Structure 1
Amino acid sequence: MVATTTPTLQSTRFATGDGLTLAVDIYGDDQRPTLLFAHGFGQTRGAWRATARSLAGEGYRCVTFDSRGHGESDRVPAGEYHMEQFVSDVVQLAHAQPDKPVLVGASMGGLLALVVAGEIDPSAFRALVLVDITPRWESAGVERILAFMQAHPDGFLNYEDAAEQISKYLPHRAGRKSEEQLRPLLREGADGRLRWHWDPALLGGLVSESERYQPRLMSAAAKVQVPVLLLSGGRSDVVSSDTVQEFLQLVPHAEHVELSRATHMVAGDANDAFTQEIARFVRQLA
């Protein structure tokens, strides 16, 4: 996709209703249609950077943010994280935009979008793009992700060590992440070791609660009325043909596109195709 303009970038902070602030990047100006991007568990707003720049160049206003406890956003005092906090943040961010946004949500971000659109505030979004997530997911795939997230409690010796471990986790990707790419994902501790950007407390309450939310998520999905695009990875172990078909029965007006080369990390595995599908979907809304 070739950008037609050079988008502006504004980095700011967004105040939540319970006193935290979230790190936010805005690509493009306020006169353009808004796309609000919600990343997955353990990710940051940086996961959307290439897509946001490209779509902003195509004439959209793209808003990316770090969820609470992630990246440069504040952490919850005492580490007490619950789904309702994240849902509230998404609702507040949606209503803070100059126009009703299209919500693009990956994994956790997509689940939050379903709760908002189907249960909390049906008018919050113009449409939804769900990235490799369905209300019921394959537990084995999620367990594999969590195992990697918990595999290095003492952190990494240096950026080369981190790049090596990530390369082993994602062997299908060519090359290793550079130090520049890794800096937003890691924090240096007092002992000099590098640890993930997210609050370790997220692995407690939020994760332990996740599967019990599935009936609620399925109920919310069945009530979604806005246009929906589900983008799944053909090599994903989190979303399967069974969970996709179940979702399409719950949301019969949804469109499904499978990106055959992508795993659960769709935006990172097939970013050009991923971005093109979002652009196509948003254009047809008009």
Structure 2
Amino acid sequence: MSTVSSEPTTVTFRGAEDLALVADEWNNPAEAASSGRDFDASRPSVLMLHGGGQNRFSWKKTGQTLASQGLHVVALDSRGHGDSDRSPDANYTVEALCADTLAVLRQIGRPTVLIGASMGGLTGILASRQAGPELVTRLILVDVVPRYEKDGSARIREFMFSHVHGFESLEQAAEAVAAYLPHRTKPRSPEGLKKNLRHRHGRWYWHWDPAFLTKPNEDPFVRVEQLEQAAIELTIPILLIRGKLSDVVSEEAVQDFLTKVPNAEFVELPGAGHTAAGDDNDAFSEVVAQFVLR
């Protein structure tokens, strides 16, 4: 099968409340058909949902890996993140994120595998249950279960809160990331952070809506019982990937999830933490590709 370039096309979907949701897309099926390229319509599309404070670029290498197998792949910027619209009323609940995901799934219009990291994984559980197995055929949860570790989640929010006022330089941002992720090799150059930061008024700011954190009583990492019940009711194949160094998903929580959701499989990545896709992308992408293509 011939495949397209590994470089994606930037596209825009419409989410709930008509928000513009920006995404990177590889191997668009309609374009493949019109250009005469071989495209295996029996394979599902793949929709990737990032974690809180991240964006679609978190998935780039994995997207390219899946696209090289001829898959149609979409990496989405969630509302309030990256280049997508911010919610005018700061609605960043898991229900709002789920509504966006369902809207995007309808626009993709094909059976789809959902891959969700952290916030995106919780969204994926709810969206998979509401969409049904004909639309969402498989679900991959990246270092998240409904009963996550509150201390680990608090550490994420503390990191996000502590830098909401930006950085003086890219180097300062790189130092902050290195301190937060000591197990990850620090890049030689901080230039890659430009995909996650925007320069305004002489400072570098993370490219997400501060209201995502600051609106009272709107923590998206909630609804434990609702999300757990949704996961239990799923009949599709599920893959849970945990970073062994994670402080957000414990070994006990994994066993609890696998007991309650018997159709779920489990893989642990020894060299990864909560940000598994970025910590050991080669191993992560291999596991994901095997599950999607199986």
TM-score by length of 1: 0.92
CA distance in 1, matches of 2:169, 2:276: 27
Q: Does the Cα contact within 8 Å between 2:13 and 2:107 map onto a contact in 1?
A: no
Q: Tell me, yes or no, if structure 1 residue 16 matches structure 2 residue 27.
A: no
The answer to whether the Cα contact below 8 Å between 1:10 and 1:25 also exists between their aligned partners in 2 is yes
Distance 2:217 2:119 in 1: 11
CA contact (8 A) 1:7 1:28 kept: no
- Are residues 1:53 and 2:93 paired? no
Tell me which amino acid in the other structure corresponds to 1:226. I
| Cα distance per residue 1:102-154 (max 9 Å; x no partner) | 00111111111111223x22233010011111011001111111111111232
Against the structure 1 CA distance between its residues 6 and 245, is the aligned structure 2 distance closer, same or farther, given a 3 Å change threshold? same
Q: Where does residue 96 of structure 1 map in the other structure?
A: 107
- Give the Cα–Cα distance (whole angstroms) in 1 for the partners of residues 131 and 68 of structure 2: 30
Aligned-partner Cα distance in 2 for 1:59–1:156: 40
146, 152, 162: which one pairs with 2:157?
A: 146
Alignment size in residue pairs: 280
Contact 2:196 2:207 in 1 (8 A): yes
Amino acid at match of 2:93: H
Residue in structure 2 matched with residue 204 of structure 1 by the alignment: 214
Summarize the Cα distance change of 1:208–1:16 in structure 2 as closer, same or farther, 3 Å threshold: closer
| Long gaps (5+) in structure 1 | none
- Partner letter of residue 28 of structure 1? N
**1:188–1:78 Cα change, 3 Å:** farther
Aligned to 1:159: 170
* TM-score normalised by L of structure 2: 0.90
More moved, 28-37 vs 202-211: 202-211
Cα distance in structure 2, aligned partners of 1:164 and 1:212: 30
1:226-245 alignment runs, 5 A limit? 226-245=236-255
Match of 2:5 in 1: 6
The answer to whether the aligner puts 1:213 opposite 2:212 as a matched pair is no
Q: Residue 83 of structure 1: CA displacement?
A: 2.2
C-alpha RMSD over aligned residues: 1.9
Quote the residue 2:35 is aligned against.
none
Q: Which amino acid aligns with 1:271?
A: N
Correspondence for 1:26: 25
* Contact 1:111–1:217 (Cα < 8 Å) also in 2: yes
